[in-house]
Structure 1
Amino acid sequence: MEIIFMGTASAAGSIERDNTYLLLRSGEARWLIDVGGNPLGKLKQSRTPLDHIQGVILTHMHTDHMYGLASLLWGMWVGGRRAALTIHCSSAGGEQLRAILKAYQVESWPIGFELRIETFDWEKENVLLHESGLELSTFPSLHAIPTVGIKAVTAEGKVMIYSADTRPNERIVQEPRIDLLIHEATKARGVMTSHTSLEDVIRYCPVERIGQVYCVHLTDDEPYLEVLEQYRNQVQGAEKVRLAEDMLLISL
């Protein structure tokens, strides 16, 4: 399984980063987790043909996590896609998603391929797919609106957890095995009501028993490097915590 960080910025935007979203590749499976503002360009950079994308998983319906969806669909239409595309979102966001697609007049392009909108109960854990040696599931996050984190398990049993937007989440702490944790860190320090700071990622998450930790949803001009240096010798495993960059590829 490979994860490409398509974007790593918070909702505030960034000089150099796209808003946070991920591309997951495993065997023949290609899934976008959220869709930032430049999916067509980033997919070209990753050398991923649009026809290879099976679907999109939306963690929640905040604009910075899904505003690139219309651009993605437009590019697929222009490129002549014919295969169906699945979009997973919470049942709380399904009506909003359909309204957005209607506002963009997707059906009148005409789009030329089937859009399958699959909704799930965000308050429960859900297995979205189990194929190509990969299981993808969701679990509730702790954010301002209905939001889910993502768990990916490979055929070899390796586990990736993506927190999505959340304050510190006990569900992640309780996970018995995490080979790769991708966690939001909207600020460098302090306690946040619906997000997590880098300081809290290090102090709250069991970083000593996690294989790799990469932080996303980053905000420009925050003293992240100061925090990493501060905790490097104070918390066991803190040296494994890194800041992700756009187009960084991680293999599990």
Structure 2
Amino acid sequence: MKRLMAAAISLVVAIAAIGFGIIWFLPSAQDAIMARVVASNVAVTTAVLDEDALHVVLCGTGSPVPDPERAQSCAIVYAGGKVFMVDSGLGGWERLARFRLPVDDLTAILLTHFHSDHISGIPDIALNSWASGRREALVLYGPPGVETVAKGFDLAYSLDDGYRIAHHGADFFVAEGADYLPIVVDVPDRHAGVTVFDEGGVKVTAFRVSHEPVDQAYGYRIDYKGRSVVFSGDTKKDENVATFARGADVLIHEALADHMVGLLEQGLDDTGDRRAKVMHDIPDYHATPVQAAEIANEAGVKLLVYTHIVPRLPNALAERVFLRGVSAIRSGGVELGYDGLYLELPAGSEKIVEHDLR
């Protein structure tokens, strides 16, 4: 019996060694494996286009604080053949590419405000949506000042655009696709929203939030066939968010745990790090997780999702501390957002189907 077992093991080892040798030394075998890997990695996730639903994917739930698990502010919404990004922070495109989400028919980017972590990824989205087939100028909706942002990126990347057209040809990189089309959204009355887009059953509404000294910072509500998602943008606790999120299915609200940031401030101050002042200043224009839960309750939303997470949450203990006090305010319908959270809201239904694209 022992001899039989030893012989069987030897045979398995020999077969494995032969297989390894074929893969390691035979180029055609290597290429065949690589071709299969490439095919699986370049396939586009079409579910966000096929179903009649409001599809929401978080592609950046972080902040300016470096976080290997979270890109800077970024979300993408697919509905009724339209594709809207809400902010475009650094790393957002990398996440979209990893999740294999289509961007060739990007309708527009909705910018909440112009802090760097909300706009730093625009050039990556511009280039890759252009390479994927976008043939018209990239539309940027945003508060007054969006023209300056568009002009800046246009100038900074004008040489790069020219190189790519020259290399790949004007039939592939259509010149108009390199342009930006900034559209100023002015919301003069903080108690009245402004319709930004209303076409094909998709309605986008902008509303004012409180992020001073940012003069005009916006949140956005997107409605499609009776389903709705609201993005708070960066804001301290603001009743305006509750007003415009009233009756919505999902509220995606920023959150900063002030008690955790206070510990960071103390630690930095103890070591003489000047960034302690930043930690001291930032809580006054962000909402805490508990405050966001209060807003969600007031609005009557089914699901509250936290994003723009401050500070970093490297483990389960940190997540627990971040959410401290939330369950006393809101017993259910709370999700700590993460890059790759995909919410599917089917038309004609009340269901919220969660998927993990990671």
TM-score between the two structures when normalised by the length of structure 2: 0.63
Instruction: Within 5 Å, give how 1:106-117 maps onto structure 2.
Output: 109=162, 112=175, 113=177, 114-117=179-182
Query: Is 1:64 equivalent to 2:117 in the alignment?
Result: yes
TM-score between the two structures when normalised by the length of structure 1: 0.87
Tell me the equivalent position of 1:240.
Answer: 333
Matched residue type, 1:22 = A
Name the Cα RMSD after superposition: 2.5
Tell me the equivalent position of 2:239.
Answer: 170
Query: Is 1:16 equivalent to 2:69 in the alignment?
Result: yes
Tell me the equivalent position of 1:40.
Answer: 93
Residue among 227, 246, 251 paired with 1:181: 251
Counterpart Cα distance in 1 of 2:76 and 2:185 = 21
Instruction: Within 5 Å, give how 1:50-89 maps onto structure 2.
Output: 50-79=103-132, 81-89=134-142
Counterpart Cα distance in 2 of 1:39 and 1:221 = 19
Q: Which structure dedicates a bigger proportion of its chain to helix?
A: 2
Matched residue type, 2:252 = I
| Deviation (angstroms), 1:103 | 2.5
Contact 1:208/1:238, CA 8 A, preserved across alignment? no
Contact 2:111/2:140, CA 8 A, preserved across alignment? yes
Q: What do residues 5-39 of structure 1 show as CA deviations (whole Å, max 9, x unaligned)?
A: 00101221212110121000102111111112234
Counterpart Cα distance in 1 of 2:151 and 2:343 = 33
Tell me the equivalent position of 1:138.
Answer: 206
Counterpart Cα distance in 1 of 2:322 and 2:90 = 29
Matched residue type, 1:133 = G
Query: Is 1:220 equivalent to 2:312 in the alignment?
Result: yes
Q: What do residues 133-158 of structure 1 show as CA deviations (whole Å, max 9, x unaligned)?
A: 210110011113121001111122x2
- With over 3 angstroms needed to count, the CA separation of the structure-2 counterparts of 1:242 and 1:54, relative to structure 1, is same
Counterpart Cα distance in 2 of 1:224 and 1:42 = 22
Tell me the equivalent position of 1:160.
Answer: 229
Gap runs ≥5 in structure 2: 1-53, 166-173, 263-281, 346-358
| Deviation (angstroms), 1:93 | 3.5
Aligned length: 249
SS across alignment from 2:182: strand
Tell me the equivalent position of 2:220.
Answer: 150
Contact 2:150/2:181, CA 8 A, preserved across alignment? no
Larger RCO: 1 or 2 (CA < 8 Å, sep 6+): 1
Q: What do residues 116-137 of structure 1 show as CA deviations (whole Å, max 9, x unaligned)?
A: 2111114442211112321011
Q: What do residues 206-249 of structure 1 show as CA deviations (whole Å, max 9, x unaligned)?
A: 268320000000121484423535442x22x3322220010110
Counterpart Cα distance in 1 of 2:117 and 2:188 = 22
| Deviation (angstroms), 1:104 | 2.7
4+ residue runs over 6 A deviation: none
Residue among 172, 189, 195 paired with 1:127: 195
Counterpart Cα distance in 2 of 1:29 and 1:80 = 15
Q: What do residues 176-226 of structure 1 show as CA deviations (whole Å, max 9, x unaligned)?
A: 312101000022548931111112212444268320000000121484423
SS across alignment from 1:239: coil
Contact 2:72/2:117, CA 8 A, preserved across alignment? yes
Greater mean deviation of Cα atoms: 58-67 or 77-86: 77-86
Contact 1:202/1:238, CA 8 A, preserved across alignment? no
Counterpart Cα distance in 2 of 1:106 and 1:32 = 26
Matched residue type, 1:197 = T
Counterpart Cα distance in 2 of 1:194 and 1:165 = 8
Contact 2:80/2:224, CA 8 A, preserved across alignment? no
Greater mean deviation of Cα atoms: 109-118 or 51-60: 109-118
Q: What do residues 83-110 of structure 1 show as CA deviations (whole Å, max 9, x unaligned)?
A: 3421111123322432232233279525
